[in-house]
Structure 1
Amino acid sequence: MENREVYVVDDSADHRLLIRTIFNKFLPNYHVRFFQGGKELYEFLILQSSPEYKGRRPGLIILDLKMPAIDGYELLKLLRQTPDNDVTQWRTLPVIILTSSGTESDIDKCYSAGANSFIVKPMEFEELRFLLETICHYWLDYNRLPTVNTELNVTS
């Protein structure tokens, strides 16, 4: 698959290390890139939106909600407002909220802003491993996204 790159945005170094361990040991077929916060990812996405960018493109973003500077909700809104280009359709790129907060208002806000899924972080290692395996298999192996005509800005 060409879009097997997973972006993980989480301000917790411990959580990033845990996820890195799971990907290295149990999900080696997926490439994962880590970002410490929303501002870091957004700056990278601006670079990536350039036609000259030749690196890997994301197939999935896993996003923490509570982060300093640009939190997950604000980043989600920015992602969904980024214009699509020939290689990345920001409006339909799967974005999964994986957070420790599960309030109804957070859930409602995230879905209204364009989240594809909202999941409360499991506390056990095996549960997190199973969850990440399921997320990656579903969103990167089985799910099919629409093609986007950037000139007309309509789904074809």
Structure 2
Amino acid sequence: MKTSKELYIVDDSEDHRFIIQNIFSKFLPSYPVRLFRGAKELYELLILQADVNYQGGLPGLIILDMKMPVIKGSDLLRLLRQTPDNDKMSWKTFPIVMMSSQSSPQEIAECYQAGASSFFTKPTDYEELKILFRVLCKFWLDYNRLPSKIS
């Protein structure tokens, strides 16, 4: 199934972004993915996309790394959930998934309290990561239905 919805992934690790790009280009080419180094880079694009004259594509799912320098993932999540809705995006219900290589029960709870749609631990095994991204894309981009504002 070909989707027009883009997957946005924010991860400060250059190595992890390289691995993700490799997985999508080799095994999941029907899913457009855009990788970001940090929260600021993503938020600047989202501000541009909120403009009434913006003509480009919009994300169908955002995956945020929990532990990033400057702005951690849960803080960016909280900021996105507080962003006013517009005619293109409903930020209160938009799917935002959190990921981390390691996390405490308190950090997981913090993410859900901030409005996470889901939370997963990054697999260290390449095959497991490939399977996880396939499942995430299938569910959130193919099967999940969003309000008509952004679907």
- Answering whether residue 34 of structure 2 is matched by residue 33 of structure 1, we say yes
> Distance in 1 between the 2:120 and 2:4 partners?
22
Instruction: Give the Å deviation of 1:90.
Output: 1.6
Tell me which amino acid in the other structure corresponds to 1:58: P
Give distance in 1, aligned partners of 2:81 and 2:42.
14
Correspondences of 1:20-99 after superposition (within 5 Å): 20-99=21-100
> Which secondary structure does the structure 1 equivalent of 2:99 belong to?
strand
Task: Show structure 1 runs of 5+ residues with no match.
Answer: 149-156
Q: What is the aligned-residue identity percentage? A: 55
Q: Which deviates further from its counterpart, 119-128 or 2-11?
A: 2-11
Equivalent pairs, count: 148
**Matched-pair contact (CA < 8 Å) for 1:9–1:36:** yes
Match of 1:152 in 2: none
Counterpart contact for 2:74–2:110, Cα < 8 Å: yes
Q: Please state if 1:102 is matched with 2:118.
A: no
Question: Over aligned residue pairs, what C-alpha RMSD do you find?
Answer: 1.3
3-state SS in 1 of match to 2:24 = helix
CA offsets, 1:83-139, max 9 Å, x none? 111122222111111111221111001001110111000010000000000000000
2:85 and 2:65 map into 1 onto residues whose CA distance is 23
The residue type paired with residue 105 of structure 1 is: Q
Task: Name the residue aligned to 2:5.
Answer: 4
In structure 2, stretches of 5+ residues that fail to align are none
**d(CA) in 2 for partners of 1:3, 1:63:** 20
SS in 2 for 1:60: strand
**2:142 maps to what in 1?**
141
TM-score for both structures, normalised by structure 2: 0.93
Structure 1 Cα separation of the partners of residues 137 and 3 of structure 2? 13
